[in-house]
């Protein structure tokens, strides 16, 4: 059987550093393409900008910045993994299958838990500021 033809732009470049740079390029392209297709991710982008603005406005501590950064990264990571799993599930099982549904539900559950954790961190860090305490 003939090998599938790989487009030239997808061939790994020569050299360790060029390959590393290319890998970063693929990763950024992944984030960018998910941002273009996923409404939830655009909402996370908006929420991230608001949270960073609030952090500067209220002058939160370094530890609070660390908690906010971890929370934001967890939500983004979970949403990106969810997007990847949805795409792979649609590719592998475009027809209804109980396992396809389970894969999507579990991936969505990961986003829900990450978002719940971020809401708790946000309430603990910004709640007292917003309530004027
Ligand atoms: N091929 C499938 N087989 C079985 N159940 C599926 C399948 N595709 C989707 N589902 C069920 O429908 C739900 C919604 O799937 P869908 O692909 O529409 O994702 P979504 O939750 O709308 O996410 P998004 O809004 O990010 O696209 C899944 O969580 C799953 O329970």
Nearest partner of 111 among 86, 66, 74, 69, judged by Cα: 74
pLDDT in tens, 87-131: 999 999 999 999 999 999 999 999 999 999 999 999 999 999 999
Ligand 1: atom nearest CA of 38 is 26
The pLDDT-based confidence of 5 (bands split at 50, 70, 90) is confident
Give the pLDDT of residue 17.
80
Give the pLDDT of residue 25.
93
Ligand 1 centroid–CA 104 distance in Å is 6
Q: Averaged over 7-19, what is the pLDDT?
A: 74
Ligand 1 centroid–CA 34 distance in Å is 16
Give the pLDDT of residue 14.
75
Give the pLDDT of residue 9.
66
**Ligand 1 lined by 14 (C-beta under 6 Å):** no
**Ligand 1 lined by 93 (C-beta under 6 Å):** yes
Is 64 one of the annotated active-site residues of the chain? no
- What is the value of pTM for the model shown? 0.85
Please calculate the CA angle 54-64-114 and round it to the nearest 5 degrees.
Answer: 85
Going by CA atoms, what residue is nearest to atom 9 of ligand 1? 101
110, 78 Cβ separation under 8 angstroms: yes
Give yes or no for residue 12 having a pLDDT over 80: no
What tokens were used for 18?
A: 């060029």
Which 8-state DSSP code applies to residue 131? T
Give the pLDDT of residue 86.
97
The pLDDT-based confidence of 132 (bands split at 50, 70, 90) is confident
Of the residues 14, 38, 64, 79, which is catalytic? 79
* CA 21/CA 23 separation, integer angstroms: 5
Domain at 38-130, CATH class: mainly alpha
Domain boundaries, the chain: 8-37, 38-130
pLDDT in tens, 26-73: 999 999 999 999 999 999 999 999 999 999 999 999 999 999 999 999
DSSP secondary structure string for all residues of 50-94: HHHHHHHHHT--HHHHHHHHHHHHHHHHHHHHHHHHHHHHHHH--
């Amino acid at each position: 059987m003939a090998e599938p033809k790989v487009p030239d732009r997808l061939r790994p470049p020569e050299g360790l550093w060029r390959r590393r740079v290319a890998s970063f390029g693929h990763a950024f392209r992944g984030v960018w393409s998910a941002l273009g297709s996923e409404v939830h991710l655009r909402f996370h982008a908006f929420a991230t900008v608001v949270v960073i603005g609030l952090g500067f406005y209220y002058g939160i501590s370094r530890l609070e910045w660390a908690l906010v950064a971890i929370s934001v990264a967890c939500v983004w990571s979970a949403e990106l993994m969810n997007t990847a799993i949805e795409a792979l599930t649609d590719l592998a099982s475009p027809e209804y299958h109980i396992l396809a549904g389970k894969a999507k539900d579990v991936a969505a559950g990961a986003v829900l838990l990450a978002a719940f954790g971020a809401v708790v961190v946000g309430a603990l860090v910004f709640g007292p500021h917003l309530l004027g305490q």
